[in-house]
Every structure is written in C-alpha cells, then in structure tokens.
A and B are shown apart, each in its own frame.
Chain A
C-alpha cells in the first residue's frame, strides 16, 4: 500500500505543477491586449500612488524618463497575497472566513517545505538534524502543520456555511463550489485524523518523508493517514483544473492588466507584436466591420464604412 500511496503523491504533485505551468503558459501566450489599466497603479512613484495618479499628470511626460517603483509594487503585492488586502478593505465579513483558510494553506505549504528540508537533511546531512536545529525544525513542521490544518479547515467550514446561507452568494453557487470546500475539509480532516490517531507502531511525518524520498516502501502508513494523503494528492491535482487556480491568474490580472501602463512609444517589442496582430484576419459578420476573412485588422481599421456612400 505504501508504494501505491507514494506513487499517487508523486503523481499528484507532478500533475499540480504541470497543470499550473500549462495554465500560466496559456495565459502568458495570449496576445498582448490593448491597455486596460486601473488606478492606482502601485509602481508609480509614491507621491502619485498616494492619490492614484499616473504619469499622465506630468506635463510632457513622453519626454521624461519613466519612473517605475518596483518596491511599492512588491509591497502592494505581498500585502495582497499574504493578507488578502482587497478582501479586508471591501468585504470584511468574507475576509474573516477566507483569510484563515488561505493562511492555513500557506502554513501547510510552509510545513511541507520544512518537512522536505528536514527529510533531505536527514538523508544527506544527518548530523545537522541531530541537535537543536533539528528539534527546532521538527517543532516548526509540527506547529505550521497543525495550525495550518486547523485554520484551513475552520476557514473552509466557515466559507461553506456562508456559501450555503448567504443570499449574496447562493444565486451564484454551483455544485462544484460546495464540492470544492468539502474536498478540502475531507482531505485535511483525514490527514489530521490519520496523524492524530496513528498507533505507536507507525512512524512520524519525518520518517514518512524520508521514506518518500528514499522510496522505502517498507514503511507502514496508517490507513486513515494513507486515505488523507491520497485525497490530498487528488486535491492538488484537481485545484489547477478549476477556478481555484486563481493563484496563477492573479499574477496576470494584476501585473499584465491592471498595472500594465507601459506606453507603446517606450517599447519596440509592443510595436512589433501589435504589427503582427494587425495582420490577423478577423471573421466578424456584422456588415459595418467589412471583414471578409481576407482583410486584415490593419485594413479593416483603415476602412471607412461610410466612405463612398456605402450603407452601414
């Protein structure tokens, strides 16, 4: 059974990474869009960010060097990613449910990463794990894991209740939304139960992680924990296939759309790409577009549908 669980875990992780990358590549490979920014844009200089201003406020902006402040952008992004700033500002009630859920996930991810580090050190540098450092690392893994699972489950449960009871959300809730939250609850619940109820004959998480890396299939896994691990593997496979992949999309909605204020005059690459798109041949059917499948966007844009007395 251990071999099967390990195989599923590796497959789940690989599927998660592959699906996330595929999604990111799909978004990234879409054509550069027309500008559609939304202010405030945090990479403007701080004095402008404060009121949401842009370089258009500056006389002769096109003659001056463009100032881009990546530090404020990073600060904004971190507070959004770590603390769900927009939700705090605009939907406080939901924040109290969503933040524990997301914070729980972050802590669980941190716990897994620390566990991986511990396992690798145990395999390749056991002396490092023998002393205080190892104990601290082990403690951090346990605290992050326990707190993470607790917060994620509390958050998922609170979100589930809200989704079922709040009239603002009910009209828009699909069966999948309920299923997703139940999936989290089931996976983390089983993991927690498997860990807490494991018998004395079963190894701890570090031994399991070491076995996972060394492919030691002789290590026994408690059935409940095995179920939790399998369900978690399925969950991480499933996440990037759904709208929960917003962790990928959000990068693009912020960086590539809301904050994309780069003027075409400052970037040859933009001009090159647009020139390429203008050679596309659209197929829109409305008569005023004059698209016949042969005309390019450039030709359509320079066609006056009113010229020569032609009707619309």
Chain B
C-alpha cells in the first residue's frame, strides 16, 4: 500500500462500531485536499470549489449524521419510543429480505453475498467512490455490506455468541439504521466491485437490497426517485411530469425544430398498430436534450424503419427507477412498458439512449414479463449499428473531425453486455475517436448512477461532483490530455445514456469545463446525424449545452 493511501486511510478511518455512535455527529468530513488528485488542468485542489455545507434547515429536521451530505431526508424521530419503533420496523424488513414470499426476486444472490464473503477487500480498489474519496473507510464497498452481514447473522440467523465470534458483533440502534439509510445511497450500484470479487459476492446488490428494505418496509426512499420518480410516472405517465398530450406536443415541436435545422422533414409516428419497432425514450431527453429524440426520428425515418412511439401510460418514458430501490415499483413500470407494446402489437421494443432503461426492461424484467408480455427488447445501439453499417445513411466522417471519447454506461455495458456496436459506429463516423481507460465492461460509472444524476437536494450535488463523479472526470481529462488546453478544439464526450448525460451536464458546468476547456457532451445519435451528408452541416449545437 502506498504511503499516500495509508495517510489518507488513517485520517478518514471509521470503525464498524462507529455506525451506532449516539453523539449525533457525522462520521466523516472530507476536504478537497483529502480527495483523489485530479489530472491537469484540475490538479490544484485549492482551486476546486469548496463544498457547500448541509443547510441548517435540513440539519434541524433530518438525520444528517453520516457524512458531509444528505440524500434521503429521513426525519428525526421525536422520542426514544419513536426511535425504537423505527428500529423494530427495520428488523421486520430485514427478516423479509430473507423470506422467499417477500423477496424471491433476489433471495439467492443476497444469501450468497451474505454467507460467502471472505473479507479479502479485493473489491475495494475497484470502487470509484472509495478511491475518489481518498480511500475513506466509510465508502469502502464492504463497509455497508459488513454491517448488513453482521446484522444478518445476529438477527436473521439468530447466531448468538457463535455468530459474533465467527462474523463479528454489531450493536443495533436508531443511529445505525439512520446512517445505513444514507449509506445505501452512497453507492452507484455499478457493480464494478462485484466484477472483481473472486467469490462472486456483490456489494452493489447489498446496497440495492438495503434500499429495498427501506422503501418496501419503512416507506423511506430518496424523494427524487420515488415521489418525483416512479410514483409520478405511474400517475401521469412520466417521471418528468409530462402526460401523453404534453409529450405529443413536445415531440411535434421537436419534429419542427429538427426539420428546420436539418433541412429534412421529420415526422414522429404515434400509436401505429403493428409497427416493427416501438421506440421508448427516457422522457428526460424530450425536455433536456430534444435533439436526441429528433435525431432518432430522423435516422429511423431515413433508414426506412417501421416504427412508432406510444402514448400509453409510461409507454413514452422508458425510465424505471424502481430498478434502484423497489421491486414492486419496478415490476409495475416494467409491466406498463410491456402493455404499451402489446396493445400496439409491435414486433419489438427498442430502447433509446438510456442505460438503466436498457437493463431494466431487457435484463431484469425478463423474468417478470411472462407469455405475450415477453415482447423482444432490443438496444438502440444494435439497431443504430445495423443502420449505420448497412449504408442506408450517407455519412461523412469529416463532419465529426474533433476529439470524441465514449463513456460506457454501466447498465448498458457491464450489466447487459452491449459493448461493441456503439464503438464500431464511432470508429466509422468519428475520425478522432479515442477510448477512455479503462473502458468497456471495465468502465467506471459516471457518478450519477442509481439515481444520483437526478438527485440534487440539500448539497448532494457537491458530493456527486467531488466524490462519485470524480473518477469519471479524471478519465475524461486523461482522454483529452493531448488537447485539453486548446480552446480552439471542441471535445465531445459521447454518452449514450440520459442519466449519464445528466451527470455530465452538471459536472461540466460545475467545473466550467466547456467555458475553459471546450469539453462538451452529447449522445450517439447526434453524432450520426451530424455526419449525415444530406443534413445541413452543424447539427451539434455546442454552445447550447
């Protein structure tokens, strides 16, 4: 272990027993100096923006006893009795996680992850959050897992003295539960740690299951992904709040804009029965990056694909935030997506540029969608690859003659295995394409995974930019190290995922990367349209972002 790592580790060390500390103080405080150094030109920590403190109003109302931020806003219990009641609820939920009637969905992987860990810490160095935080013990992927494991052996298996001897003891009280709630939202669920585990233990899964316990038993979840996320989607059809009428209006407006901008008349078809493809976007694209659905429409139209969008409830928004915290919400939304496709009798669902939507509907929901609901799902990467390689579009790569790097969304790549189609497209249309290192299935999360990209309450953004997004920021700066200082060269981070784009939008703005270094971002379809010969030049609107 390097001296630097040792020094940082010692400074930010917390014991497992600290989770139950009753002093009402956070366990960790980080300064910019503590963090993993960034490469040039962001290599001076003193120039980095200071963290905003948690607002006093939040400190008064919510449990803010984990670290420098707060993601979940858990109200402080008013009495000891209330605390005990919450601990009881937690224990009831813990039991249910290990019952097949309540948690058949992930019981086997969870039990194996509880029982087989040899605590070798091989996973630790794979975690971008642990590394970026300057190896803060609290963020070690096994820290929360070990708390959970000790609780499992003590309270679920009722192991008594032998369990304490074999696995270590743990004190359970409300501060531990409150801290564990927050700590379950300090993991991007990217599962890079699981990939390195010699035994196959999965710390990402453990964080996921903890979130489930808190949501499904205690009704506690981050507001952005529950109240404003899955609940809103089930109410109006989209977590953006857009109902079918609004989304159709917006798409009509986008069609007009794209037609004007490209010189090609674009029309998005709605509710076409029997279409070959039902395209489902992350509806956030429609509001935040309208050129993305516009570019999709243009490409599919030009390629002669029989396609449609759906105005069914949730049929026009592929997000499924339940994936990150709640099986019931997950299943409900997945079934809505399938229902939209079934009603239109489409031959396949194609998922737009949204990583978690890919994994949710193609992989995780596969064993929920039975019979006629199990309509084939395909990645937009695969369809776009087929179109680009078919020669149906006349492409001029010189239009994309600027440095381009590719971000691999974890859900699409490591967790679904869609790795090469997007790279082969970039090799064809972007002459200055360069990989980040590492990339593909070994990629690092953007830092916005598992809902973080849409979470910005209190000062959570500061944590997201300084800690969870730091490793990716390092990768981006390194990918453009040959030209980062050149203000005349626009650089493009291609991120075929809405959540990742949200994280890039925010972190680029936070560090002023566009203004100072001309680092921009966008999706894959924008680059394809930008290279189309029959489209007016200059489709990519650099300044707009």
Contacts and interface: CB of A to CB of B under 8 A. Distances in A.
A46 interface: no
Contacts of A57: 379, 381-382, 417-421
Given A56-B417, A172-B146, A242-B166, A302 B335 contact: yes
A249 B226 CA distance: 34
Contact of B332 (A61, A264, A303): A303
B170 to A, nearest CB: 11
B78 interface: no
Given A167-B6, A285-B92, A243 B115 contact: yes
A246 B118 contact: yes
Contacts of A176: 165-168
Nearest to B334: A301
B421 A36 contact: no
Interface string B337-351: 000000000001000
A38 B194 contact: yes
A172 B118 CA distance: 10
Interface in A32-62: 32-41, 44, 48, 51-62
A94 interface: yes
Contacts of B105: 33-34
Interface stretch (B29-37, B359-367, B458-466): B359-367
Interface stretch (B119-127, B392-400, B471-479): B119-127
B243 to A, nearest CB: 12
Nearest to A163: B119
Candidate in B89, B109, B117, B126 with the most chain A CB atoms within 10 angstroms:
B109
Contacts of B300: none
Given A59-B382, A86-B198, A301-B331, A32 B368 contact: no
What is the interface residue range for chain A against chain B? 35 or more
Interface residues of B, number: 101
Contacts of B121: 91, 168-169, 172
B165 A52 contact: no
A78 to B, nearest CB: 14
A266 to B, nearest CB: 10
B415 A37 contact: yes
Contact of B413 (A39, A59, A87, A305): A39
A64 to B, nearest CB: 11
Contacts of A55: 417
A27 B116 CA distance: 11
Contact of A305 (B234, B335, B441): B234
Interface of B: 1, 6, 9-10, 13, 15-16, 89, 92-93, 96, 100-109, 111-113, 115-122, 124-126, 137, 142-143, 146, 164-168, 191, 194-202, 205, 215-219, 226-227, 231, 234-235, 328-329, 331-332, 335, 348, 362-371, 374, 376, 378-379, 381-383, 385-386, 413-421, 440-441
Interface of A: 27, 30-41, 44, 48, 51-62, 80, 84, 86-87, 89-91, 94, 98, 166-169, 171-177, 179, 242-246, 249-250, 252-254, 256-258, 261, 263-265, 270-271, 274-275, 277-278, 280-291, 297, 300-307, 312
9 contacts: A27-B112, A40-B441, A52-B441, A55-B417, A91-B198, A172-B146, A176-B166, A277-B100, A301-B328
Given A90-B125, A307-B234, 16 more contacts: A33-B109, A36-B109, A36-B205, A48-B417, A51-B440, A52-B441, A62-B348, A90-B122, A91-B120, A98-B120, A263-B366, A265-B376, A282-B103, A284-B328, A286-B217, A297-B331
